[in-house]
Structures are given as C-alpha cells and as structure tokens.
Amino acid sequence: MTPQHILVPLDFSPDADQALDYAMPLARRLQARLTLLHVMAPLPTIGMEMDATVLSTYLEELEAENTQTMATYRERVTQASLPCDVAVVFGTPFQVIIDTARARRVDLIVMGTHGRTGLRHLFMGSVAERVVQLAPCAVLVVRVPAPTPAQERPSEGGESVGGPAET
C-alpha cells in the first residue's frame, strides 16, 4: 500500500527538521498529504505549587507561541505546494502521536530521534522507540548524523572541514 497520509511530529529540534526535510519530497513523490504535529508535554509538578491562574496564563502563552512556530512549518510545506494540516496538542508525546495516527488514518509516521544512548536513554526513554513499538502504521525514523571529529575541528586555514568560516 502506498502511503497517502504522512504524520510528521515536530519538537522544534534539528532532528525534527531533518524528518520534515525527508518527509516533504517523499510526500511529493507519493502525492501524499502531510499532517504536522507538535505535542506539548505535561509540565513536571513534583514539589511545585503554582497558582492556577498563573499556570493557565503560562500554558495559553506557550500554546500560542507553539502554534506560531507551527505556522512557520506549515508555510514551508505549503510553499512547496504540498497539502498540509497542523495540530498543536497537550499530552504525553508518544501517546498523542499514536492517537493522532489512528484518528487521522495516517499511513506513515516520519519522525526524528535524538539518538540518546546509555543512561540518558534509560532515564529519558525514547519517544521514537515507543512510537515504533505501538504505532498503527509504518514508522520511518530519521536521525541527524553526529559530526565526526574532523568536522568539529577547524583546519589550519581557519576554516572548518564543513565549509568556510563565517566572517
């Protein structure tokens, strides 16, 4: 089955940008619709007391800011002449991604991963890993390659291996 609806979860990281960069030409080739999703995770409240009005105002401002950021992603997709929907939702990221895929009858999820390993992975988990395990459709995980030591180290001419130095 050829995917006709692709979900791209965006957390505003370079990994998510890379996933969108991968999904757009794929959507064009498959003539598929894109849904861009940003999940606003619940705030940690351990040991915190916060006035309900202050919290409500903060969450409204945060949602407005995230909605504006998603509008820039939508513009990027629509400028490429691709059909696109956008959603900003509160919830647990992996669960919202899975629920959205089911509710919108998504055929493919294209998402980035931070590629955490070791203790960071153990304590923070992996949204991408949970989505791969539980998604109702295929999942394509895109990872930004880590720079090699040669790319991080400037050459003798004052330029990095990746390109000219900024002046």
CATH code of the domain in which 92 resides: 3.40.50.620
Q: 10 in a domain, yes or no?
A: yes
Rounded distance, CA 88 to CA 2, Å? 27
**How much is the pTM?**
0.79
pLDDT per position in the chain (167 positions), as tens? 789 999 999 999 888 999 999 999 999 999 999 999 999 987 766 556 667 788 788 889 999 999 999 999 999 999 999 999 999 999 999 999 999 999 999 999 999 986 555 554 444 458 888 999 999 999 999 987 766 666 555 554 444 444 444 43
Q: 86 in a domain, yes or no?
A: yes
User: Please, are residues 32 and 52 in contact by the beta-carbon 8 Å criterion?
Assistant: no
Q: 159 in a domain, yes or no?
A: no
Query: Which residues are CB-neighbours of 1 under 8 A, at least 6 positions away?
Result: 107
Q: 59 in a domain, yes or no?
A: yes
Number of domains in the chain: 1
Q: 91 in a domain, yes or no?
A: yes
Which range of residues forms the domain containing residue 134? 5-144
Rounded distance, CA 67 to CA 38, Å? 9
**pLDDT at 93 (0 to 100):** 93
Rounded distance, CA 30 to CA 114, Å? 27
C-alpha angle 73-16-97 in degrees, rounded to nearest 5: 90
Rg (alpha carbons) of the chain, rounded to whole number: 19
Q: 151 in a domain, yes or no?
A: no
106 by Cβ neighbours in 10 Å (0-12 / 13-18 / 19+) ranks as buried
**pLDDT at 126 (0 to 100):** 84
Q: 126 in a domain, yes or no?
A: yes
* Tokens matching residue 123: 């304590």
